[in-house]
């Protein structure tokens, strides 16, 4: 069966322009290691509803390169040097826009909104009004709905070679959410191999917001068959257990003594096969980890993961209170990625910084409500190094 909980990408009316319609950039592909900028520019040149789709490259002098399309703000390639110095692309994705449109949705690399993760039965209330969202994941709403931010064309500007600024206005009522929401997401690459993502939003009517990025990583290199050998630490001593539809039950459970204890470094595969009701519900890890509280606001370390093979290490820092660790359980070999290899079960993982799933229906969870006159502002950093 195709990935059980993935929604089929809606037809978004994207008319791809024929290859070669854009003038050729002069940047030589060789300067970008395995990222072929000329081919990617061609393969991402398109237009939908009068909005141009393209691809943008962030580069630094330390051999890190990131390719991002303004279709869904998706990171389509992210190349970092391993311990042998070899540039390695460590994210899943496709090397052309057509594949994002024709393959079932796995949210590869995308900006997720208006609400990351699940809302029970797609329903929530604000000030006595009940809002009904599109239900696209069994009985629940997932990742902003079929036409969530991952499937929208964002306005893009690139002030310099390190920065990409994306803007999107989500209209009042879009996918069932109240209020015109004006969103800005900025990707910035530093000279020390940190990809920083700043999220900002304002609304003209009370609404809910929970934005994240849905990059899937394999630090052995894109297309490698497993992530179970990766060694992970999560700075969380509690997680939110879920029911069989992956909606939090409302309690915070201690990770101590459970397969969810990543407080000290552990291979992802070590306990994933344990007989455990929560692992059964998630088909593996697909849970919200509550980050240890900190005294001061600002970025703090949420998770560290490395590949013993390549020595590539990813540290995730965030201002968010939680992180979803998803071990790629619904990948089943159906999707074929940019390397030509199929994405197999647990061949990539996500670490999605966030507020808790279903928070609008769970009064004890930190609030995700945004009011007019207030600014939603969060930051997450994917910092790459060597182990």
Report, as residue numbers or ranges, the catalytic residues.
214, 352
Does 324 contact ligand BGC by CB under 6 A? yes
CB-nearer residue toward ligand BGC: 32 or 185? 185
Q: Is 245 exposed, middle or buried (0-12, 13-18, 19+ CB in 10 A)?
A: middle
Site string for ligand BGC, 193-232 (x = CB under 6 A): ----------------------------------------
**Shortest approach of ligand BGC to residue 357 CB, angstroms?**
8
Among 100, 239, 326, 343, binds ligand BGC (CB under 6 A): 326
Phi and psi at 383, nearest 5°, equal -105, 125
| Count of residues that interact with ligand BGC, criterion CB under 6 A | 12
Distance of CA 304 to the CA centre of its chain: 16
Among 75, 181, 197, 246, binds ligand BGC (CB under 6 A): 246
**Shortest approach of ligand BGC to residue 286 CB, angstroms?**
5
Closest-CA residue to 83 (of 234, 266, 306):
306
Give the span between the Cα atoms of 81 and 373, in whole angstroms: 43
Does 117 contact ligand BGC by CB under 6 A? yes
Q: Is 222 exposed, middle or buried (0-12, 13-18, 19+ CB in 10 A)?
A: buried
Instruction: Residue 19: count other Cβ atoms within 10 Å of its Cβ.
Output: 12
Q: Is 320 exposed, middle or buried (0-12, 13-18, 19+ CB in 10 A)?
A: buried
Which residues make Cβ contacts (< 8 Å) with residue 197, sequence separation at least 6? 185, 186, 187, 188, 213, 379, 380, 381, 382
- Cα Rg of the chain, angstroms: 20
Q: Is 68 helix (H, G, I), strand (E, B) or coil?
A: strand
Work out the widest C-alpha separation in the chain, in whole angstroms.
59
CB-nearer residue toward ligand BGC: 6 or 232? 6
22-30, 88-96, 176-184, 323-331 -> range binding ligand BGC (CB under 6 A): 323-331
Alpha helices in the chain (DSSP H): 37-44, 97-102, 277-282
CB-nearer residue toward ligand BGC: 19 or 139? 139
Which residues make Cβ contacts (< 8 Å) with residue 238, sequence separation at least 6? 252, 253, 254, 255, 289, 290
**Shortest approach of ligand BGC to residue 4 CB, angstroms?**
8
Closest-CA residue to 312 (of 109, 94, 87):
87
Give the span between the Cα atoms of 68 and 55, in whole angstroms: 6
Segment 95-114, which members bind ligand BGC (CB under 6 A)?
Answer: 106-107
**Shortest approach of ligand BGC to residue 9 CB, angstroms?**
12
Segment 21-80, which members bind ligand BGC (CB under 6 A)?
Answer: none
172-180, 230-238, 247-255, 322-330 -> range binding ligand BGC (CB under 6 A): 322-330
Instruction: Residue 96: count other Cβ atoms within 10 Å of its Cβ.
Output: 21
Does 352 contact ligand BGC by CB under 6 A? yes
**Shortest approach of ligand BGC to residue 45 CB, angstroms?**
27
Give the span between the Cα atoms of 333 and 79, in whole angstroms: 23
CB-nearer residue toward ligand BGC: 82 or 357? 357
Give the span between the Cα atoms of 97 and 54, in whole angstroms: 9
Does 330 contact ligand BGC by CB under 6 A? yes
**Shortest approach of ligand BGC to residue 328 CB, angstroms?**
8
**Shortest approach of ligand BGC to residue 199 CB, angstroms?**
16
Residues that bind ligand BGC (CB under 6 A): 5-6, 106-107, 117, 246, 286, 324, 326, 330, 350, 352
């Amino acid at each position: 069966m195709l990935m059980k909980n993935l929604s089929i990408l809606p037809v978004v009316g994207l008319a791809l322009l024929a290859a070669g319609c854009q003038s050729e950039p002069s940047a030589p592909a060789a300067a970008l290691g395995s990222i072929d900028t000329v081919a990617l520019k061609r393969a991402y040149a398109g237009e939908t509803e009068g909005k141009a789709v393209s691809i943008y490259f962030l580069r630094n002098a330390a051999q890190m390169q990131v390719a991002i399309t303004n279709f869904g703000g998706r990171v389509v390639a992210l190349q970092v040097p391993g311990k042998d110095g070899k540039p390695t692309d460590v994210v899943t994705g496709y090397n052309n826009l057509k594949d994002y449109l024709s393959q079932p949705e796995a949210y590869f690399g995308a900006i997720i909104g208006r609400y990351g993760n699940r809302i029970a039965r797609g329903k929530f209330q604000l000030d006595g009004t009940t809002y009904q969202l599109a239900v696209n994941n069994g009985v629940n709403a997932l990742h902003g709905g079929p036409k969530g931010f991952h499937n929208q064309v964002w306005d893009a500007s690139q002030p310099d070679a390190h920065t990409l600024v994306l803007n999107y206005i989500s209209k009042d009522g879009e996918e069932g959410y109240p209020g015109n929401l004006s969103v800005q997401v900025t990707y910035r690459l530093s000279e020390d191999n940190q990809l920083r993502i700043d999220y900002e939003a304002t609304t003209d009517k009370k609404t809910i917001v929970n934005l994240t990025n849905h990059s899937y990583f394999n630090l052995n290199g894109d297309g490698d068959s497993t992530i179970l050998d990766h060694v992970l630490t999560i700075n969380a001593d509690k997680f939110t257990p879920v029911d069989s539809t992956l909606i939090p039950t409302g309690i915070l459970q201690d990770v101590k003594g459970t397969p969810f204890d990543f407080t000290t470094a552990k291979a992802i595969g070590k306990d994933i096969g344990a007989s455990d009701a929560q692992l059964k519900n998630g088909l593996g890890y697909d849970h919200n980890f509550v980050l240890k509280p900190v005294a001061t606001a600002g970025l703090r370390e949420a998770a560290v993961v490395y590949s013993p093979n390549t020595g590539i290490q990813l540290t995730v820092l965030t201002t968010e209170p939680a992180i979803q660790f998803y071990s790629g359980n619904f990948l089943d070999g159906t999707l074929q990625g940019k390397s030509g290899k199929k994405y197999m079960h647990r061949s990539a993982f996500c670490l999605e910084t966030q507020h808790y799933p279903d928070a609008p229906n769970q009064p004890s969870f930190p609030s995700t409500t945004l009011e007019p006159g207030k600014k939603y502002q969060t930051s997450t950093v994917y910092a790459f190094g060597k182990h």
